Amino acid sequence: MARNFGRLVQQLRSERSVLEREVAKLTQAISALEGNEGRGRKVGRLATVRRARRKMSAAARRAVSLRMKKYWAARRKKS
């Protein structure tokens, strides 16, 4: 019985090593698909750096508004 137990443990260890190699292959495949390619850094949506939005002052918004009103008035005049 102890002999069978030892054989069983050896088979389980062998199976575990096979599965660990498969997990490593899957991890590499996932990394390649994500564009990571094993560089140890995240790439994609989470890693993208967003630039801060510039805030327009009230005066700048008013100036844009007036320019656009003038632009659309000219376009209506042409039609």
**Main-chain phi, psi angles of 31, to 5 degrees:** -60, -40
Measured CA to CA, the distance from residue 23 to residue 20 in angstroms comes to 5
Per this entry, what is the length of the chain? 79
pLDDT per residue rounded down to tens, the chain (79 residues): 667 888 898 999 999 999 999 999 999 988 888 875 555 555 555 556 777 888 899 999 999 999 999 999 999 998 7
Measured CA to CA, the distance from residue 69 to residue 26 in angstroms comes to 58
pTM: 0.41
Measured CA to CA, the distance from residue 33 to residue 44 in angstroms comes to 11
